[in-house]
Amino acid sequence: MNIVIVEDEPLVLQRTKRLTLEILRLQQPKIQCFTDIDDAELYLAENSIDLLLLDLNLKGRNGFDLLKNNVAAGYHTIIISAYAEKAIDAFQYGVLDFVAKPFTIERLSKAFDRILDKSQRNYYGCRYLSIKKLGVIELIALPDISHIQADGHYSLIHLVNQIEMSALHSKSIEKIMQLLPENFLRVHRSYVVNMNNVNKLLIQPGSQYAVKLNSGVEIPVGRTKYQEVKFYLELKQ
Amino acid sequence: MFVRYIKKLIFLIPFLSMCVLAVNSESILNTGIKNKFNEVSIKIIKQGDELNCHLIVTKDNHWKKITFDQIPQYKHFCIRTWVNIDNSLMTSPPSLLVGMLGSSSFYWDENLISQNGKVGTSIDTEVPGIVKTLVSLPEPLIFDGKHLLSGEISTFNLSKKLNTIGYILLLVNERDLHSKILILSILSAIFIGISLILAIIFQLFYWLYQKEISYLAFSMFCLSSSLILVIEQAKFWLDYTYDWHIFRLSTIYSLTFLTSWLLPFFYLLNYRFPHKWLCTIFITLGLIGLSFIAISYDQASTFLFSGALFSALVINAFSAFHLKKGHFNVIILLLSLSFLYFIPDYFNEFGFSLVFIFIVMTMLVSLIKEMHSNKVEALKAERVKTELLRRNMQPHFLMNCLTQLMELIEVKPKKAVEFISVLSDEFRQLTTQSSQNIIGLSEEIILCNKHLAIMSVRYQQSYQLKVNGKTEDIFIPPTILHSQIENCFTHNEISSNRSFQLTVTNTNGNINLVLKTPIEKKIDHQGTGLGEKYIKARLAEFERVNTKTKKAHSCSFESYEESQYWVSKFSFLS
């Protein structure tokens, strides 16, 4: 497990590193520390990691730009900041967790739980998916998303209005699922569907299942997922 | 901006309407007069002359012809004039109105109609009459046709030579006259009332609200102005003998001088003019000079008041230009001056009162504005204090420090105790200083060092403040340097041992503080935020407090980026 910590105050950096090693000692993480976000970005551009622990001065000029940039990446981002009042904003952009300073080992391990147990879903208010297109960050509002398709280590995000203009996200479909609210269901190994956008559930010959979206597109539903999808749609009605 | 000017113009409406009213009522008085004698025949009576001037048969063809305002002083003389009466033109029997400085007896067709004092041949034999005579003519004597009005007059009881002593001689409709005098008196009474109330109000302001010398000057101005009006109006309701007239005139003159002097003096105080005492001496000399040039009391009043208005105009124009206040006063004063210049006839009767009232109004407005701004300043200062506390105990700062503490407690408990003591030291000093308006520079430096000590622990560096120059006996508003040092950390990530420098220079009480804080990895732009506002508010309060205690300080602050340093310059001029 590769982890990067960005923190400008040496003592706090020391603390974050120490506690992380303690919590994740079974995973034997490799930790890289930076006191400066610019140095960290150079490293992140070259190396693939699993988790970024970022101390972000969200008050500053480019705090949120940095945040949007990092949440667009393939790794999860956990913010550790004294600016607790900015937590809601940070969650909107899709950070995995927001740890307010001062923090205890218990709070930090709770944040790491979400990394370790990928099936765990705790929706904290993500409203956008951040996407890097030709080096430019774009925000996609969740209601605009029709469905998400797994594409290797990446995910292809299909939009409600512009089906042809689907966008590629650097995170895997599992990681994206961790950020999304209840109405996004993993209907298939390779598909996540925005249930608000589902027209009806189709039962095809040979026990094949599918959901028909408002746009007319049909998405296959896994055998094991069928009951869940049916239950959700009945509940909605 | 535009709306503000419109509002100010609306304020002018009462001024203009009162001007119109004044001009109108004055002309009513003039047109209401019938049979004004523009020309009278006069003969000086010498010792031993026969007194036959009241006889119709006396021939006056060769007598000298003069107008009534040319009657001579220190003389005993007779005047005659012929009057045409046409009863169809008159609504009621006419009365004779005489206003002059002299004793007199008047005859209508050889019948004695008025006796005012006792006409004499010298100052010893004359008994002074009152300044104004109003008698109704006996009805049987007023028939259509030519009548002789004759008067025997002596004018010995004058202590001083005057420009003119005959003011008015005419036949009037008594009822009309009284109603006109009533209007005049009511207007004057209003003016007098306003001024007296203002005088009292500003005395109270001075004693109960704030011991501002300008309030006292303003109160005196109101009082002396109302006294001028009272004495000016005395001729209508006080029947005094004419030998007192010069006393009345000199009283009005002295009061006019005082009022004229107080007007610019008030503005000087009000604007806290830089060289106010020099200006005051200059204005005083100017006014004395003006009163010497004048040839009559009336002219002296006009001159004095123009002088006062002019110097007030100059002061206000200067203030409008340099201090950015008093623009509206300039307009009012210009209007007043042009009133004085273009309609001088009405000045002594009305112009004076009007000009006065409007000057008073502008003063009142500016004083109320000043009180308001004082209140706003006080509120602002209060807010600044709370802001300071909030800023230095801001959650982020505290939370970051607490995170450090957690780590230290778990890893190096001894260091944690040290850190807590530096932290509490800074907070304690900040709490004490925030309630003060002025502190010693050395105290401020101690506070800065405490903050740097905290930051040194946080960033594991050893930040130092290098001080050049003597810091003793220098007093500054609290936490201005501290705020800049703190800002340096908010706006930068200072991760090296760059130094903080403070240079202090003190030349003849003019103090300059130059603080250089390093610039490194700017997080956001310095110099536009709360810190700057905070320092300006602090300096403004410092200035205000020091002006009150007569230590006329002027503070200035500027900050800019210069070769990898953020430079903050503070100057305190005494």
pLDDT of residue A231: 87
Q: In residues, how long is chain B?
A: 574
Q: How far is CA B179 from the centre of its chain?
A: 34
Q: Are B153 and B175 in contact (CB under 8 A)?
A: no
Element of type H or E holding B353: helix B352-392
**Residue B524: its chain A contacts at CB < 8 A?**
59-61
CB contact under 8 A, A12 and B525: no
| Segment A187-233, tens digit of pLDDT | 998 999 999 888 888 888 887 889 988 888 889 998 888 888 888 88
CB contact under 8 A, A8 and B495: yes
**Residue B489: its chain A contacts at CB < 8 A?**
none
Of B395, B405, B523, the CB nearest to A60: B523
**Residue B404: its chain A contacts at CB < 8 A?**
9, 11-12
**Residue B403: its chain A contacts at CB < 8 A?**
9, 11-12, 15, 82, 101-103
**Dist. CA B120–CA B127, nearest whole Å:** 7
DSSP-based three-state secondary structure for B314: helix
**Dist. CA A76–CA A200, nearest whole Å:** 33
**Residue B396: its chain A contacts at CB < 8 A?**
59, 82-83
Give B 483-502 residues with CB within 8 A of chain A.
Answer: 493, 495
Instruction: Calculate how close chain B gets to A67, using CA atoms only, in Å.
Output: 15
Q: Which residue of A has its CA nearest to B455?
A: A9
CB contact under 8 A, B523 and A57: yes
- pLDDT of A162 above 70: no
Say whether residue A100 is in contact with chain B using an 8 A CB cutoff: yes
Q: Are B68 and B169 in contact (CB under 8 A)?
A: yes
- B491 bridge partner residues: none
CB atoms within 10 A of CB B345: 12
Q: Which residue of B has its CA nearest to A100?
A: B399
Q: Which residue of A has its CA nearest to B402?
A: A102
**Dist. CA B197–CA B208, nearest whole Å:** 16
pLDDT of residue A23: 93
Q: Are B397 and B429 in contact (CB under 8 A)?
A: no
Residue B105 structure tokens? 């007896």
pLDDT of residue B27: 39
Q: In residues, how long is chain A?
A: 237
Say whether residue B147 is in contact with chain A using an 8 A CB cutoff: no
Q: Are A173 and A148 in contact (CB under 8 A)?
A: yes
| Segment A104-128, tens digit of pLDDT | 999 999 989 888 876 667 677 788 8
Sign of torsion, CA B458 B461 B462 B465? negative
pLDDT of residue B313: 86
- B572 bridge partner residues: B511, B555
CB contact under 8 A, A36 and B460: no
CB atoms within 10 A of CB A125: 14
**Dist. CA B32–CA B182, nearest whole Å:** 14
CB contact under 8 A, A11 and B404: yes
**Residue B487: its chain A contacts at CB < 8 A?**
none
CB contact under 8 A, A10 and B459: yes
**Residue A104: its chain B contacts at CB < 8 A?**
406
Say whether residue B508 is in contact with chain A using an 8 A CB cutoff: no
Of A9, A15, A36, the CB nearest to B459: A9
Q: Which of B552, B573, B378, B389 minimizes the C-alpha distance to B479? A: B389
Element of type H or E holding B557: strand B554-562
Q: Which of B99, B105, B171, B163 minimizes the C-alpha distance to B142? A: B171
The three-state DSSP-derived secondary structure of B358-403 is HHHHHHHHHHHHHHHHHHHHHHHHHHHHHHHHHHHCCHHHHHHHHH
Residue B291 structure tokens? 């009163």
Q: Are B85 and B138 in contact (CB under 8 A)?
A: no
**Residue B495: its chain A contacts at CB < 8 A?**
8, 35-36
Q: Tell me B522's DSSP state.
A: B
Q: Are B90 and B186 in contact (CB under 8 A)?
A: no
pLDDT of residue A125: 78
**Residue A108: its chain B contacts at CB < 8 A?**
none
Predicted model pTM: 0.57
**Residue A82: its chain B contacts at CB < 8 A?**
395-396, 399-400, 403
**Residue B521: its chain A contacts at CB < 8 A?**
36
Instruction: Calculate how close chain B gets to A8, using CA atoms only, in Å.
Output: 8
State ipTM.
0.81
Say whether residue B16 is in contact with chain A using an 8 A CB cutoff: no
- pLDDT of A30 above 90: yes
- B465 bridge partner residues: B500
CB contact under 8 A, B395 and A84: yes
CB contact under 8 A, A9 and B458: yes
Say whether residue A60 is in contact with chain B using an 8 A CB cutoff: yes
Q: How many CB pairs under 8 A join A and B?
A: 64
**Dist. CA A209–CA B156, nearest whole Å:** 133
Say whether residue B418 is in contact with chain A using an 8 A CB cutoff: no
**Residue A13: its chain B contacts at CB < 8 A?**
none
pLDDT of residue A65: 75
The per-residue pLDDT string of chain B (574 residues; one tens digit each, 9 = 90 and over) reads 444 544 444 444 444 444 444 444 443 344 333 445 667 888 887 776 666 788 888 887 788 888 888 888 888 888 888 888 887 777 777 888 888 889 999 998 888 899 998 888 888 888 998 988 888 888 888 888 888 888 989 998 888 888 888 888 888 888 888 888 888 788 788 888 888 998 998 899 888 877 778 888 888 988 988 888 888 877 777 888 888 888 888 888 899 899 889 888 888 887 777 778 888 898 899 888 888 888 888 788 888 888 888 888 888 888 888 777 667 778 777 877 777 777 766 655 566 666 667 767 777 777 788 778 878 877 776 776 676 666 666 778 888 899 999 999 999 999 999 999 989 988 888 888 877 878 899 999 999 999 999 988 888 888 989 999 888 888 888 888 988 888 888 777 776 777 899 999 888 778 889 999 988 766 655 555 667 777 887 887 787 777 665 555 678 888 888 888 889 999 887 6
Say whether residue A17 is in contact with chain B using an 8 A CB cutoff: no
Say whether residue A32 is in contact with chain B using an 8 A CB cutoff: no
Instruction: Calculate how close chain B gets to A232, using CA atoms only, in Å.
Output: 43
pLDDT of residue A32: 93
Q: Are A168 and A156 in contact (CB under 8 A)?
A: yes
Say whether residue B552 is in contact with chain A using an 8 A CB cutoff: no
Say whether residue B525 is in contact with chain A using an 8 A CB cutoff: yes
Q: Tell me B208's DSSP state.
A: I
CB contact under 8 A, A11 and B493: no
Q: Which of A171, A173, A121, A122 minimizes the C-alpha distance to A147? A: A173
Of A15, A61, A104, the CB nearest to B524: A61
CB contact under 8 A, A11 and B408: yes
Strands B500-507 and B465-468: parallel
**Dist. CA B572–CA B76, nearest whole Å:** 74
